[in-house]
Structure formats: C-alpha cells, structure tokens
Structure 1
Amino acid sequence: MSLKDKLQEDWKAALKNKDSFRANVISMARAAVLQAEKVDGSKLDDEGVIAVLSKEVKQRRDSILEFEKGNRQDLVEQAKKEIEILLEYLPQQLSKEELTEIVKSAVNEVNATSIKEMGKVMAAIMPKVKGRADGKLVNEIVKQILQ
C-alpha cells in the first residue's frame, strides 16, 4: 500500500471513529500532498509524499517556537499532537547519537576541517538522512563538530 493510500485509509478510519482531530490533521496532510502534485503536474511517489510530510512537520516545529514566544501553550500542545500524527507516516527518525555518527563520517569523507566547509558536509549528509532527520538539528550537529 502506498503512503497516499495509507493516508486515505487512515483518514476514513478516523472519520468512522469520530476522531475529528486526527481526521483534520490527516486531511491537511492529504491536501498538502495534492497541492504538491498540482504544482509539479505529476503524481508523487512515496519519497515525494515523505518530502511533503517532512515539510509539514518542519512548519509545525517552527510554529511551536513562535507559539512559545507568544505564550500560547494551547497552540504548542496542538502542534505537538499534530507532529506526533504526521511522524507516523515518516520513516523512523534518527536519534541525535545516530546523526552525530553520520555527521562525523561525512566530515571525514569530505576532509572538512573548518566551519567554512559546512556546505560540503551538509551536501554529503542530507541525501542520507532525507525524511529521517530535521535539517535544523543536522545543521547544529555539523556546527558543533566543525568548531
């Protein structure tokens, strides 16, 4: 079953179970996928759907920071619940330790010695962790290792 089909089936199940919050989150995810397909003019495969869902998770994580600044704990909790639901459709996320190992091997691979070579390191890492790690976290770990 493709990821799009799984989203469709889970959306139907959430509606049947009268779980409106889950149904709304899945519906927003499906809408984002459909919008991406409309823009590209082609059907997305599972990898494309994962990219769209990763973007949705990133937007919500960024929103959490803004909600915390605005002291809106209710919206922070809602965004966290939405992220939990969306993460069910993404590949298993890498731990910070696993990411650190990947970063160290990439640094050795490109022979990076200073923060000026961060772009090379990021270019080597991102294809390996696509959909399995937040780019902001990867960026922080690369900065720590290169300093």
Structure 2
Amino acid sequence: MTNEELHAQMVAAMKAKDKTRLSIIRQVMTEVKNIEVNERRDVTEEDVNSMIKRLIKQTSETLEMSKQAGNNQERTDVLTQQVEILESLLPEQVSGDALVALIEKTIAEVGAESRKDMGRVMGALNAATGGNFDKAAAAKEVGARLS
C-alpha cells in the first residue's frame, strides 16, 4: 500500500465515521511520518507494508496476552478487529494453487534438486512476492517437492 492509498483510506474512514479504522490508519500514518522525519527519505510501498506487518505482529501479541489473561472480552474484541483492519491494508497474499504454481516455477528457475536448496527457493519466493505469501504452506510444499 502506498502512502497516497493510505491517505485515501483515511479520508474514506473519516467520511464513514469508522473510528476504529480511522485510528488504525492514523497509527500507520504516524509511523510513516516517523520514517520520513527520522531517516529523511521518502517512504516506499515496501516500507509501509513492513510497518503494517510489524503492527499486526504487535497487536496479535497483545491479543494473545489478552486472551490468556481471560479478562475484559470487550478489549479482546477490539484487538481482534484491529488485527483484521491491519490485515485488510496489506496486499492479497499468494496462497493455494497460485502459490503451488509459483513454487514449481521457482524450483525450476533456481534449479533446486534437494532439501539443501530449500533456502534458495524460499529466498527466491520471498523476492518474487515481496514476502507476501503463506510462508508455512510454502515451506511445507517446497520440502515435499525437494525430498
């Protein structure tokens, strides 16, 4: 997601009076601004996506701790909703049949023959998709094909 798309999402959330979505998008935009100010550079789409992934991880960890504590169901529901909103901001992940086809193509391109080549295949998949694929499913599939 680009910075401009993020701004458009913020405007749409304001018009829809969706306070939860608006607060999440503002949080992401604040992080974007921090990178621009602290590193004195323009933010790339990859920066925004990695920032969203980091926020998903942080929010998911907080959600898990909230579930383990077992108190305040309302807080757990809010955190669940925040994770869903953050995930909706990311581009669609490559999975299923598209992932299998990409794995076959990548194995052929890399010339992988054994499990020793699994790291090279996973690295090539990461580069091809920008890290936007189901890593666990991909590792299982690559492992099965290279055994």
TM-score by length of 1: 0.71
- Bigger mean CA offset, 10-19 vs 93-102: 10-19
Query: Equivalent residue for 1:7?
Result: 6
| Partners of 1:115 and 1:146 within 8 A in 2 | yes
| Partners of 2:106 and 2:124 within 8 A in 1 | yes
Residues 39 and 107 (structure 1), Cα distance of their counterparts in 2 relative to 1, 3 Å cut: farther
1:143 paired with 2:143, answer yes
Residues 7 and 95 (structure 1), Cα distance of their counterparts in 2 relative to 1, 3 Å cut: same
- Paired positions, count: 145
Q: Unaligned stretches of 5+ in structure 2? A: none
How big is the shift at 1:103? 1.5
| Partners of 1:3 and 1:46 within 8 A in 2 | yes
Q: Unaligned stretches of 5+ in structure 1? A: none
- Bigger mean CA offset, 120-129 vs 47-56: 47-56
Query: Equivalent residue for 2:36?
Result: 37
Q: Which structure has the larger Rg?
A: 2
Query: Equivalent residue for 1:121?
Result: 121
Query: Equivalent residue for 1:21?
Result: 20
Tell me the SS of whatever aligns to 2:93.
Answer: coil
2: CA distance, partners of 1:10 / 1:108? 40
How big is the shift at 1:93? 2.2
CA RMSD of aligned residues (A): 3.3
1: CA distance, partners of 2:48 / 2:59? 18
| Partners of 2:67 and 2:76 within 8 A in 1 | no
TM-score by length of 2: 0.71
The residue correspondences of 1:100-115 to structure 2 (distance < 5 A) are 100-115=100-115
> Deviation per CA, 1:12-62, whole angstroms, max 9, x where unpaired?
4434543221112112221232233345321113343233324433x1585
The residue correspondences of 1:44-123 to structure 2 (distance < 5 A) are 44-57=43-56, 59=57, 63=61, 66-67=64-65, 70=68, 72=70, 74=73, 77-123=77-123
Tell me the SS of whatever aligns to 1:113.
Answer: coil
How big is the shift at 1:97? 2.2
Query: Could you tell me the percent identity over the aligned residues?
Result: 26
2: CA distance, partners of 1:65 / 1:136? 21
